[in-house]
Amino acid sequence: MKQIPDQSFWKLWNISFGFFGVQIAYALQSANISRIFSTLGADPHSLSYFWILPPLMGIIVQPIIGSLSDRTWTRFGRRIPYLFVGALVAVLVMCLLPNAGSFGMSVATAMVFGLVSLMFLDTSINVAMQPFKMMVGDMVNEKQKGLAYSIQSFLCNAGSLVGYLFPFIFAAIGISNTAPEGVIPDSVIYSFYIGAAILILCVFYTTAKVKEYPPELYNEYHPISEEEKADAKNSPNMFQLLLKAPTTFWTVGLVQFFCWAAFMFMWTYTNGTIAHSAFDAPTVERIVDGTTRVVLDVKSTQYQEAANWVGILFAVQAIGSVLWAIVIPLFKNRKLIYSLSLLLGGIGFISIYFLHNQYALFVSFLLIGCAWAAMLALPFTILTNSLKGGHVGTYLGLFNGTICIPQIVAASLGGLVLSAFTRTGELAPEVLMLVLAGILLIAGALCVNIIEEK
């Protein structure tokens, strides 16, 4: 088998550079969706349901993109066409979503508009995101995959940092951070506009700089066995491929379940937690389904300042992730550093319950960043080293189910769990959902021991 040659650092950088722009879009989505729908009038107990659509679209789209791109050969490449189309759609939707409350629609209509926009945004982000992981599998040898995914992790966190900080920066330079009831503040709207511009520029850069291997050369680097050729002729469906998936696929997937459920709770409930515990946001009574509930006043200055501060905390998490990503390759035992990283993240989540100072929370989110760094780099490094043949893209698409399914489960059950924690006539204790996230990460750390690494 012909070996893929070593690549220079900058070639590895170029393969993943577009991920920087894609992650800005993803960061803006993850940091602001709860804020947007709360501003439109969503009840805290219903917030998690708005988060079902993103992972649901991911689990549908990613395997399809993986399977299609495995069989795609064009003069532009096999993965890049999907990357470009996904980014283009994401740019268009990013200009629409934050305006959900600005078109004079009723609350219900604005909610539906926001949901449809969110569905298209997450679908397009998923279409644009998956090719980057596949290109590393296609173009990087086994020796350099760890470095390549570390670069991807760095760019991912750098993009997250920029996306998380945008609303805070725009508010700091004087752009309005408050708005009439049901309308998204300009600081958020402009953040999505600038993020969209950066996304398309980054994707143009990757498209211009990266030349994927032509079919003949690719087949020399990734020879397909007679058994796999027979599989290709029989066109195995995704269910059949799952049955033949290596044990590594399933054991890493179990760890992924706990990790991504935990982060779904973080994205959903951090805004309310920080607004209440660190910024003393005022509360109001609202009638929901015939029941009077105590909720945070989303029009208040304290709530909107807290929402911007959540962006700062998520940026701190990204910084922690970047720093920890430098530490991860120093450990030869991948399972040890994987488990340690998740344990530190679990401690970070649980500590939020005890910290009420907005600056002290930096410690919590630095620790959470350790878990995030490991989640971005290690699962794909471990998995791709156990894959070979003509279905790598399909398997990576299917592996995305280990990211999406736990998020769907967490989003579906989040409202019910929060309701169980909430006492009648009191504000929903969203911080307990973050404590639960910490417990889930610790469970994931314990499950790392069962991974069969090949």
What CATH number is given to the structural domain containing 149? 1.20.1250.20
Does any domain span residue 431?
yes
221 in a structural domain:
no
What's the pLDDT at 119? 84
Q: What is the CA radius of gyration of the chain?
A: 22
Predicted local distance difference test score (pLDDT) of residue 238: 65
Q: 183-197, 275-289, 359-373, 404-418: which has the minimum mean pLDDT?
A: 275-289
Q: What is the pLDDT of residue 388?
A: 64
Compute the residue count for the chain.
Answer: 454
- Per-residue tokens: 258: 């706990």
Is pLDDT of 82 > 80? yes
Least confident of 23-32, 103-112, 333-342: 103-112
pLDDT at 366: 97
pLDDT at 172: 92
pLDDT for the residue numbered 284 = 87
Q: Is the pLDDT assigned to residue 226 strictly greater than 70? A: no
C-alpha span between 84 and 80 (Å, rounded): 6
Average pLDDT, the chain: 86
pLDDT higher at 69 or 270: 270
| Structural domain includes residue 168 | yes
Judge whether 148 lies within some domain. yes
Is 217 a domain residue?
no
pLDDT, one tens digit per residue, over 247-286 is: 888 889 999 999 999 999 999 999 999 999 999 999 888 7
pLDDT at position 1 is 61
Residues 145-179 have pLDDT tens digits of 878 877 887 888 788 889 999 999 999 999 988 88
More confident residue, 246 or 171: 171
Q: Report yes or no on 3 lying in a domain.
A: no
Q: Which of 266, 255, 251 is nearest to 375 (CA)?
A: 255
Show the domain range for 154: 9-211+243-450
Q: Quick one: pLDDT band at residue 390, thresholds 50, 70, 90?
A: low
- 27-56 average pLDDT score: 84
Q: For the residues 414-433, what does the mean pLDDT come to?
A: 92
Residue 1 lies in a domain: no
DSSP bridge pairs for 287: 292
Number of compact structural domains in the chain: 1
Q: Between these two residues, 365 and 203, which has the higher pLDDT value?
A: 365
Query: Which range among 67-76, 173-182, 190-199, 415-424 shows the weakest confidence by mean pLDDT?
Result: 67-76
Q: What pTM does this model have?
A: 0.79
Per residue in 87-125, pLDDT (tens digit) is: 999 999 999 988 887 777 887 888 888 888 888 888 888
Q: Does the residue 331 lie in any domain?
A: yes
